[in-house]
Amino acid sequence: MPDRPVPVEWQVADDERFRQVVAEGTELARPELAHSVHAEVSGLRPAAEYFYRFRAGSEISPVGRTKTAPAPGARVDRLAFAFTSCQSFAGGFFTAHAHMAEEDLDLVVQLGDYIYEGAPTSDPPRQHEGKGEAVSLDDYRRRHAQYKTDTDLQACHAAFPWIVVFDDHELNNNWADEMPQDLQRQPAQVFLARRAAAFQAYYEHLPLRRSSLPRGIDIQLYRRLTFGRLVDFHVLDTRQYRSDQAADAQRTDPGRTLLGAEQGSWLRQGLAGPTAQWNVLAQQVFFSQRDQLAGPGTAFSNDAWDNYVIERDGLRDHLVRAGTLTRCCSLVTCTPTTSATSRLTSTTRHRQRWPPSWSGRRSPQAVTARTSSPMTKHSSARTRTSRSSTATGAT
């Protein structure tokens, strides 16, 4: 891409042939943000299906489909969502995403490890590009761009809104706040520069609102999304504010935190009510206790809630005292697997066809993305290899 801003046009329509365009505009894709675009669209109907596309010069993107969130307080009887995480390009093929693209879903929740930062090896069925582990802004940009070449991932992004949040591998394995996994190999200032680079590339390549634009080593990701009276998604950030991992003997230290004081207070207030019928904690690590050693010894994960016992048990007890668990049908905690589907509803299956109303050359690898009411769209004119989308409701 040229080292200058590039105008990117976008359209949103009621129909996939774009005979009824309901919103359109132009955003500048700037080189300092890898020529990505984050267009936020308002004025759309709640609980409605829309189609969207982008044009940069003579290149026109494939068409994406989205669905806006129900209006606040609306009665919603069903909602279906899938969640995915730990999606290593080098570890295998994204067939789960291909199957998800064929499901009747309202949205997809990505719980983290959208990319893996590791160096290429000779073992996996697919190879990461580059000569070593991703550490620089250019490294992370290239890694994200490589993942977006996967056609199954593209299809899943184009079919549904996505809610995204990171875990550790978007930056560095098992990092905690300002601490890398291996401080002896990564001095503090080196790691913080790497953190800022990883956050910027993450924002550039994923469908996030401008409120999540990184500010140095910080990025705002925890948020609450409401889908009528049926479900509240509490999207948690379990990396930026946590205490460093510790040995089992320290796991009951009351000063240890996974969420940090501000996020923890925000979550407890949100769960104290009134809440929707279902509450979903969209987060990255196992919540329940898991001792993986038989006998009198212990082997708890130092990267999960087991390493932050007082905070975990306090959150559980808070839910009981607030009546959230009895007032709701359930509290659902989403934790990592390759993918899973939870059915609280269903929606119409999408079959994509090319609408001819915009003149220009169709790009088979053009990038897109967006969210729900009001809608955020994201496109990356730089890589021309990605599609992505995210759903947002009440934030």
Instruction: List pLDDT tens digits, range 22-33.
Output: 999 999 999 999
Per-residue pLDDT reduced to its tens digit, 363-373: 433 333 333 33
Q: In whole angstroms, how far apart are CA 55 and each of 61, 314, 323, 371? A: 6, 50, 50, 18
Residue 227 lies inside a defined structural domain of this protein: yes
Give, to the nearest 10 degrees, the angle between helix 261-271 and helix 309-322: 20
Whether residue 392 lies inside any domain: the answer is: no
pTM, two decimals, is 0.86
395 within some domain: no
Name residue, tokens 């009528």.
228
Q: Give pLDDT tens digits along the chain (395 positions).
A: 889 999 999 999 999 999 999 999 999 999 999 999 999 999 999 999 999 999 999 999 999 999 999 999 999 999 999 999 999 999 999 999 999 999 999 999 999 999 999 999 888 789 999 999 999 999 999 999 999 999 999 999 999 999 999 999 999 999 999 999 999 999 999 999 999 999 999 999 999 999 999 999 999 999 999 999 999 999 999 999 999 999 999 999 999 999 999 999 999 999 987 788 888 999 999 999 999 999 999 999 999 999 999 999 999 999 888 876 544 434 556 665 445 555 553 233 333 333 445 655 554 333 333 333 334 455 433 322 233 333 333 33
pLDDT value at residue 352: 33
> What's the rounded Cα separation, in Å, for the pair 209 and 163?
11
Give domain status of residue 393, yes or no: no
Asked if the structure places residue 1 within a domain, the reply is no
Burial 234-249 (b: 16+ CB within 10 A, else e): bbbbbbbbbbbbeebe
What is the SS3 assignment for 55?
Answer: strand
Whether 59 is covered by a domain: the verdict is: yes
| Residue 32, domain CATH | 3.60.21.70
Length of the chain (residues) = 395
**Is 389 part of a structural domain of the chain?**
no
Distance of CA 76 to the CA centre of its chain: 24
How many domains is the chain partitioned into structurally? Answer: 1
Range of the domain at 370: 6-71+79-380
Q: What is the structure's pLDDT at 371?
A: 31
- Report the DSSP beta bridge partners of residue 179: 176
Task: List C-alpha distances in Å: 34 to 113, 141, 192, 383.
Answer: 21, 8, 20, 8
Burial class of residue 391, CB neighbours in 10 A (0-12, 13-18, 19+): buried
**Residue 387 resides in a domain:** no
Strand partners for 28: 7
195: burial class by Cβ within 10 Å (0-12, 13-18, 19+)? buried
For residue 368, the model assigns a pLDDT of: 31
